[in-house]
């Protein structure tokens, strides 16, 4: 992928070129022996890998008019360490150091997260929830990427489809493809502050629809859905489940 705006994007995954060339030579029966790898890549994984944020951003940046003398702001840049104005809270840094020096957190943590962390998350969420959550209701993941992957893998089943908004972080598409889920895109209404097209949702959903993904606050549109709109979405979704 070539783009004059690559400096505005996150750095690519780096590989050792010499190691790559040596492996390629070995695979073709050259230096390193006559053995050839006897496995092939996963088609679903290859399709999932073809959907990336970097390629999308590069295409958008390349559409910018070169005649307009304005600075392009890299709003798709998700690495805060590049900018000195974004620093981790001192309290968080001190807590990590204290935990490291204590020697009490050197083992593998439970896959769902340690109990104190899950309890803290539940207590935080319970401030605004009418039905209270318990620590056992919380599943902590290493960022949104693992969260999306875990959720899709848990929901996936044969012939299943999932409803995604037309504008969405590409990783949702990648994990849906990798989980062999059929992707159905519902529309957003730009003239109504990017509200969900409820009629479109009802037309897309069927007996094989396992979930509808709602991004709130929305990425990349930036809007926040009102309580009234989310209530309408819930009512329409319940209607879909009953039909």
**What pLDDT is recorded for position 119?**
96
Q: Is 104 exposed, middle or buried (0-12, 13-18, 19+ CB in 10 A)?
A: exposed
- Give the ranges where the chain is alpha helix by DSSP (H): 17-27, 43-49, 53-62, 90-102, 115-125, 143-155, 170-178, 198-204, 227-242
CA–CA dist 186, 204 (Å, integer): 7
Domain 144-242 in this protein, CATH class: alpha beta
CA–CA dist 62, 78 (Å, integer): 19
Domain segments of the chain as ranges: 88-140, 144-242
**What pLDDT is recorded for position 71?**
75
Question: Residue 20's CB: how many other CB atoms inside 10 A?
Answer: 10
* Residue-level pLDDT, tens digit, the chain, 243 residues: 555 555 555 555 555 666 655 565 555 554 445 566 777 777 777 776 666 666 777 777 777 767 777 777 766 666 777 777 778 889 999 999 999 999 988 888 898 999 999 999 999 999 988 999 999 999 999 988 899 999 999 999 999 999 999 999 888 998 999 999 999 999 999 999 999 999 999 999 999 999 999 999 998 888 999 999 999 999 998 888 877
Handedness of CA 108, 172, 176, 174 (dihedral sign): negative
**What pLDDT is recorded for position 2?**
54
The pTM score is: 0.69
Strands 182-186, 209-212: parallel, antiparallel or unpaired by DSSP?
unpaired
Q: Is 181 exposed, middle or buried (0-12, 13-18, 19+ CB in 10 A)?
A: buried
**What pLDDT is recorded for position 28?**
52
The residue count for the chain: 243
């Amino acid at each position: 992928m070539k783009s004059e705006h690559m400096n505005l994007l996150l750095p690519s995954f780096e590989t050792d070129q010499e190691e790559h060339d040596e492996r390629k030579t070995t695979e073709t029966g050259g230096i390193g022996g006559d053995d050839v790898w006897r496995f092939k890549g996963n088609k679903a994984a290859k399709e999932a890998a073809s959907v990336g944020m970097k390629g999308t951003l590069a295409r958008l940046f390349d559409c910018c008019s070169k005649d307009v003398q304005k600075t392009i702001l890299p709003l798709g840049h998700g690495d805060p360490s590049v900018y000195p104005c974004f620093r981790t809270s001192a309290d968080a840094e001190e807590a990590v150091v204290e935990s490291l020096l204590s020697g009490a957190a050197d083992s593998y943590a439970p896959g769902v997260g340690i109990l104190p962390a899950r309890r803290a998350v539940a207590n935080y969420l319970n401030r605004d929830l009418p039905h209270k959550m318990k620590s056992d209701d919380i599943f902590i993941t290493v960022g949104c990427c693992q969260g999306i992957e875990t959720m899709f893998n848990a929901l996936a089943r044969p012939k299943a489809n999932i409803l995604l908004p037309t504008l969405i972080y590409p990783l949702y598409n990648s994990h849906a493809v990798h989980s062999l889920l059929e992707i159905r895109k519902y529309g957003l209404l730009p003239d109504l502050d990017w509200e969900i097209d409820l009629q479109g949702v009802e037309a897309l959903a069927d007996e094989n629809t396992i979930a509808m993904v709602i991004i709130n606050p929305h990425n990349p549109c930036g809007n926040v859905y009102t309580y009234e709109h989310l209530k309408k979405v819930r009512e329409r979704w319940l209607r879909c489940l009953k039909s």
